Structure 1
Amino acid sequence: MIFIQPKDTDAAYHFAAEEFCMSSMGQTQDIFMLWQTDRCAMLGSNQIAQDEIDFDLAKQHNVQIVRRSSGGGTIYTDKGTLLCTRITPFSSGDDAKEIGRTQLAEPIIMALQKMGIHAEIKGRNDMLLEGKKISGLAQRLGKNCLCSHCSLLFDTDLSVLESILTVDESKLKNKGIASVRSRVTNILNHLSEKYDTQTFKALFKEALSEILPFELYSFSQEELASIEKIREEKFANPLWTYRTNHNFTHHSEKRLPLGKVEVYYEVKDSTISSCSIRGDFLSIKPIDELEKHLADTAFDKEALMTRLNEIDLLPYLGGIGAEEFLSILFS
């Protein structure tokens, strides 16, 4: 396994680096990246930016806004946060969720335990410490490789997190919690011996190396140029970050156990001519593939069920099945 620790703190750069690694090395090479960002709000690939972030407060706090390619919800990171990426070869039939757990979440938990930090894996994608969230995992599927990544809240400014993120009240209610702030915690708050983020990073890297032996790797100038091209064209491009829905004639939404799903769709002559599927569900493949699959289907429950059963929904909707999906449209 190769270990990459970029010094850049621009989140758009890191997502570009992930995409570069997936396209050029991920099919045959096991890769681990450890990185940090400046103040940043990271949108899930299927979310609507203005529904998730208070733009005015984000600007006041000098928070960068980026959109990642993985599903899930919006997170906040800063220099008190560590971020981990694991890119592994992936074959048809592999279990992405299991790979994310065994190849990323479990080694992180083991490393933290070596440091005397007794965290645990809980729920669909969370890591908890004394019952509160310190990390959430998201994934995306590339050509013959899988990218799993997560954040680790060490000394993150939780007041900024709470201030700029607009959290769906139904999500909090379903989890039985009063606010996003009450749900998360910093690892630093649970240490008997306090130290700064850079010390934590060094100790974590050392503990991780005992679990996942690795070789250090640095990008060449040519590779850095390729990464910068991806950054400029995609992750630093406002058209990607702030993409909005077209004007659709219909809108349905529902919070399901595996995430919130919103469906915007145009119906012409009793047929879905186009649609846009948004939410914080944990997709690992681009949702536009499913949107295109549903286009030109009769707006009829039976017809749509037949259409949905033609493909594997798991990588698109993160475990939400056809019946659940149709319950949004025909509730």
Structure 2
Amino acid sequence: MPATKPTVYLETHSQDPAYNLAFEETVLKVRKDRPYLLLWQNDNTIVVGQNQNTAAEIDPDFVEAHHIHVVRRITGGGAVYHDLGNLNYSFLTDVDNAADMTYQQFTRPVVEALQGLGLQAEASGRNDILVEGRKVSGTAQRLLGKRMLFHGTLLFDSDLSTIAGALRADPSKFQSKSAQSVRSRVGNIRSFLKEDMNLPAFWQYLKSSFGGEGLESGSLTQEELAAVQALKENKYDTWEWTYGRSPHFTFINKRKWPGGMLEAGLQVTEGHIEDLRFYGDFLSLTSLDGTVEALRGVPYRRREVEKILKTLPLDRCFGSLTPQEILDTIFA
């Protein structure tokens, strides 16, 4: 993690996913003086990416029967499952030029920490970390001004059967819709260790590995903690944020691209785009609200939409998806 000042270490002291995500977002917004490291855990939870259609990502009957929380985060990417066998990490730091930042710069300390335990770890694909070909970590990031949040999961000793049951496997991502196709892709770090360790020991190891000797322990002020609680209650606990209300779509088009899944739902009235939503696991850096607003009222014609897209920071909104791929999805 690029840094010029010693990193400050924070803990949320909570396993409530809505509170933890509110804590992380608050640190991103109000603590801009130093690099920060967070290590935290959620109780049984599905965390969906900011641009995903929540209802399409989960098995609601399984989620209800197993009392699994469902929350939405502020970063892109796909849905992930958290339990107390999983450990989450968050890096928050300044970046001078977001266009020059790569996932490898942030995944490197994670990969090196795992390699330090004797594991055959490597960064792979768009945003995964693998050990012996099995996914043990998924990562995502968010840019706010010059402030970057990069966070990820670390499957240490999670219940892989619950992961498979809670998440719906998209047939365009896997050869089979079965739970086996999910289980075959993921693995627990503990099972690869040559010398066993428990999760508290792993937690302490990561804290030392990520922070080094210059790591400083910190805490939020009472005012900041009040802001966390308010954000939890007014945003992360709400149905509107987690599931969202969608317009009645005239068209729903979906395509899988190298940069991720993209689905466009459009409400077209008298030849003009009245409303639209973009869903998918593409790795956006910022909210798509500005893109959606810019396209409202535009004639539903490719050349007209293309004109608008050329004026927008598409790399920040849609990750590595190209303008051509976005247009091909909208007009599929």
Corresponding residue number in structure 1 for 2:98? 94
Structure 1 moving runs of 4+ over 6 Å: none
Alpha-carbon contact 1:115-1:204 (below 8 Å) kept:
no
Alpha-carbon contact 1:115-1:207 (below 8 Å) kept:
no
Alpha-carbon contact 1:31-1:88 (below 8 Å) kept:
yes
Alpha-carbon contact 1:80-1:155 (below 8 Å) kept:
yes
Alpha-carbon separation, structure 1, partners of 2:140 and 2:267:
30
Corresponding residue number in structure 2 for 1:30? 35
Residue of 165, 168, 171 corresponding to 1:169: 171
Matches within 5 A, 1:245-324: 245-324=246-325
Alpha-carbon separation, structure 1, partners of 2:272 and 2:64:
42
Alpha-carbon contact 2:164-2:180 (below 8 Å) kept:
no
User: Aligned-pair distance for 1:13?
Assistant: 1.2
Alpha-carbon contact 1:46-1:277 (below 8 Å) kept:
yes
Residue of 105, 108, 120 corresponding to 2:107: 105
User: Aligned-pair distance for 1:223?
Assistant: 1.8
Q: Secondary structure at the match of 1:150?
A: strand
Alpha-carbon separation, structure 2, partners of 1:227 and 1:329:
37
User: Aligned-pair distance for 1:271?
Assistant: 1.6
Alpha-carbon contact 1:13-1:231 (below 8 Å) kept:
yes
Alpha-carbon separation, structure 2, partners of 1:243 and 1:204:
36
Corresponding residue number in structure 1 for 2:4? none
Please state if 1:180 is matched with 2:182. Answer: yes
User: Aligned-pair distance for 1:209?
Assistant: 3.1
293-302 vs 119-128, greater mean Cα deviation: 293-302
Please state if 1:123 is matched with 2:125. Answer: yes
User: Aligned-pair distance for 1:173?
Assistant: 3.7
Alpha-carbon contact 2:39-2:87 (below 8 Å) kept:
yes
Please state if 1:62 is matched with 2:71. Answer: no
Alpha-carbon separation, structure 1, partners of 2:175 and 2:293:
33
Alpha-carbon separation, structure 2, partners of 1:320 and 1:281:
8
What amino acid sits opposite 1:129 in the alignment? V
User: Aligned-pair distance for 1:95?
Assistant: 2.8
Alpha-carbon separation, structure 1, partners of 2:257 and 2:98:
25
User: Any idea what the Cα deviations from partners look like across 1:55-88, whole Å, max 9, x if unmatched?
Assistant: 1211221211110011111000111111000111
Q: Secondary structure at the match of 2:98?
A: coil
User: Any idea what the Cα deviations from partners look like across 1:24-73, whole Å, max 9, x if unmatched?
Assistant: 113x3211101111111001111111100011211221211110011111
Using structure 2 for the length normalisation, give the TM-score: 0.93
Corresponding residue number in structure 1 for 2:22? 16
258-267 vs 153-162, greater mean Cα deviation: 258-267
Alpha-carbon separation, structure 1, partners of 2:70 and 2:281:
17
Alpha-carbon separation, structure 2, partners of 1:14 and 1:143:
22
Alpha-carbon contact 1:172-1:178 (below 8 Å) kept:
no
Alpha-carbon contact 2:117-2:193 (below 8 Å) kept:
no
Alpha-carbon separation, structure 1, partners of 2:210 and 2:134:
22
State the identity %.
Answer: 33
Residue of 80, 83, 86 corresponding to 2:85: 80
Residue of 7, 11, 19 corresponding to 1:5: 11
Alpha-carbon separation, structure 1, partners of 2:295 and 2:223:
41
User: Any idea what the Cα deviations from partners look like across 1:225-264, whole Å, max 9, x if unmatched?
Assistant: 1111111111112221121312122211111111111111
Alpha-carbon separation, structure 1, partners of 2:246 and 2:100:
29
Alpha-carbon separation, structure 1, partners of 2:100 and 2:294:
22
Corresponding residue number in structure 1 for 2:226? 225
User: Any idea what the Cα deviations from partners look like across 1:178-227, whole Å, max 9, x if unmatched?
Assistant: 611100100011112222211211222223333x7311112222221111
Corresponding residue number in structure 2 for 1:160? 162
Alpha-carbon separation, structure 1, partners of 2:82 and 2:276:
32
Q: Secondary structure at the match of 1:170?
A: coil
User: Any idea what the Cα deviations from partners look like across 1:251-291, whole Å, max 9, x if unmatched?
Assistant: 11111111111111121222212211111111111112111
Q: Secondary structure at the match of 2:307?
A: helix
Q: Unaligned 5+ residue runs, structure 2?
A: 1-6
Using structure 1 for the length normalisation, give the TM-score: 0.93
Count of residues in correspondence between the two structures? 324
Alpha-carbon separation, structure 2, partners of 1:97 and 1:150:
17
Alpha-carbon contact 2:21-2:236 (below 8 Å) kept:
yes
Alpha-carbon separation, structure 1, partners of 2:323 and 2:86:
37
User: Aligned-pair distance for 1:96?
Assistant: 6.5
Alpha-carbon contact 1:23-1:143 (below 8 Å) kept:
no
